[in-house]
């Protein structure tokens, strides 16, 4: 359980010793392939745990992160008021794999996701600039957060229009430059190619989702291109038919929001972000075991966000159980990987054919709308 933690500590140790050339930062499992935010956060853990030797303390720190992450997720779900309370038991207690990813393996994926959920909470509070700052920070820990980026771009255009969203995008870009500046000044090409390598090959032996394919197909660039095109097509279809408001042109997003209908309710913010990420997960070139945390905490919402009858609850719980079983099958098999795709396909069908999410139930008071508040209190 220490392999990745040791590799992380070796990677940041080079930076602690003054190495600023990203090409030279390496660990037991290979070169450093994460952006600069990862280096700074795990450098703090490196010093806090006695140069990475006090693994028990690191596990306590990650256990605290796990609880903090749950609080952030629960706060999001409280705002949606869509998921039955008993489902939270499965989220907290029924996933061995998630507990392992957080507390036993000490991966960087949970760190990125916790920051992401904090950013989503800020979006729900209408703190879009701070939310974009934290979103960019999460990207700087691990690039999987970019799977939420298409949904966030749609929301920014919907909320601020084309001109209004440019400053928010600049916040995201500026933070990446600031964090990477020490490495960009020394070897900019090395930093960009290593930390933002979108063409990196994955090893077939670790794949969870494509085990049923022959290895030569799994490694084929044409297969990767097909997945990318499928992902882009899925995003386009959801943007046109599921994310935008009925009878509103997609080009209307570019207009000044003052000339359009009011912004979407908070529930739709979560729907767009979570479905954007889920589309990316479904079309990923490879899913490794630690990648489960990329979407585990969003699955209950994706299953219950559309209206359903009480009789339909049990199949959804069963679907969660099958997905958990697939992720706990090691090594993955033809059956487990096929089952995972079938479960993903069923969730996508529900998201596509289900009715649009209803407005949020729990809306905090806002000083921007005193008139609406006074009417509620009368």
Q: Is the dihedral of CA 341, 347, 348, 353 positive or negative?
A: positive
Rounded Cα–Cα distance for residues 133 and 150 (Å): 16
**Model-level pTM greater than 0.75?**
yes
- Across residues 34-55, what is the average pLDDT? 96
Rounded Cα–Cα distance for residues 28 and 129 (Å): 38
Q: Give pLDDT, residue 254.
A: 77
Residue 285 has pLDDT above 70, yes or no: yes
Residue 72 has pLDDT above 50, yes or no: yes
β-strands 26-27, 30-31 pairing: antiparallel
Q: Taking a C-beta distance cutoff of 8 angstroms, is the pair 140, 37 a contact?
A: yes
Following DSSP, what letter does each residue of 294-315 receive, concatenated?
A: GTGGGHHHHHHSS---GGGHHH
Place of tokens 């601020």: 160
Q: Taking a C-beta distance cutoff of 8 angstroms, is the pair 135, 172 a contact?
A: yes
Using one digit for the tens of pLDDT, what is the confidence trace for 163-190?
Answer: 999 999 999 999 999 999 999 999 999 9
Rounded Cα–Cα distance for residues 44 and 62 (Å): 13
Q: Which of 131-140, 257-266, 301-310, 349-358 comes out lowest in average pLDDT?
A: 257-266
Using one digit for the tens of pLDDT, what is the confidence trace for 203-255?
Answer: 899 999 999 999 999 999 999 999 999 999 999 999 998 888 777 777 777 77
Rounded Cα–Cα distance for residues 190 and 184 (Å): 8
Q: Give pLDDT, residue 267.
A: 61
DSSP-derived secondary structure letter, 285: S
pLDDT confidence band for 308 (50 / 70 / 90): low
- Across residues 154-162, what is the average pLDDT? 91
Residue 313 has pLDDT above 50, yes or no: yes
Q: Give pLDDT, residue 90.
A: 86
Tokens of 315: 């199949």
Rounded Cα–Cα distance for residues 122 and 72 (Å): 10
Q: Which residues lie across from 26 on neighbouring strands?
A: 31
Q: Is the dihedral of CA 45, 49, 52, 57 positive or negative?
A: negative
Q: Give pLDDT, residue 261.
A: 63
- Across residues 73-87, what is the average pLDDT? 90
Return the closest-CA partner of residue 266 out of 159, 353, 367, 374.
159
């Amino acid at each position: 359980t220490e392999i990745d933690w040791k590799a992380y500590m070796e990677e940041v140790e080079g930076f602690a010793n003054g190495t600023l050339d990203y090409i030279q930062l390496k660990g037991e499992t290979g070169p450093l392939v994460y952006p600069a935010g990862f280096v700074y956060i795990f450098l703090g853990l490196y010093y806090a745990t006695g140069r990475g030797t006090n693994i028990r303390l690191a596990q306590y720190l990650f256990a605290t992160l796990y609880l903090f992450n749950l609080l952030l997720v629960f706060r999001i779900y409280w705002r949606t008021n869509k998921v039955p309370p008993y489902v939270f038991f499965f989220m907290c207690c029924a996933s061995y794999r998630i507990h392992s990813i957080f507390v036993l393996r000490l991966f960087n994926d949970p760190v990125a996701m916790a920051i992401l959920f904090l950013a989503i909470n800020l979006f729900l509070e209408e703190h879009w600039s701070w939310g974009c700052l934290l979103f960019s920070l999460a990207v700087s820990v691990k690039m999987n957060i970019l799977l939420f980026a298409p949904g966030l771009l749609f929301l920014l255009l919907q909320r601020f229009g084309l001109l209004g969203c440019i400053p928010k995008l600049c916040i995201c870009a500026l933070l990446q430059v600031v964090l990477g500046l020490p490495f960009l000044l020394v070897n900019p090409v090395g930093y960009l190619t290593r930390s933002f390598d979108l063409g990196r090959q994955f090893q077939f032996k670790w794949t969870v989702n494509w085990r049923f394919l022959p290895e030569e197909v799994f490694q084929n660039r044409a297969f990767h291109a097909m997945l990318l095109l499928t992902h882009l097509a899925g995003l386009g279809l959801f943007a046109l038919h599921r994310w935008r408001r009925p009878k509103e042109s997609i080009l209307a997003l570019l207009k000044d929001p003052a000339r359009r209908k009011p912004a979407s309710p908070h529930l739709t913010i979560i729907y767009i972000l979570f479905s954007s990420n889920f589309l990316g997960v479904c079309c990923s070139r490879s899913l490794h075991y630690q990648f489960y945390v990329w979407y585990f905490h969003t699955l209950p919402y994706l299953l219950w966000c559309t209206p359903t009858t009480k009789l339909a609850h049990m199949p959804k719980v069963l679907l969660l159980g099958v997905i958990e079983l697939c992720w706990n099958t090691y090594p993955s098999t033809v059956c487990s990987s096929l089952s995972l795709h079938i479960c993903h396909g069923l969730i996508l069908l529900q998201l596509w054919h289900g009715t649009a999410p209803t407005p949020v139930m729990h809306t905090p008071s806002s000083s921007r709308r005193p008139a609406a508040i006074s009417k509620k209190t009368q």
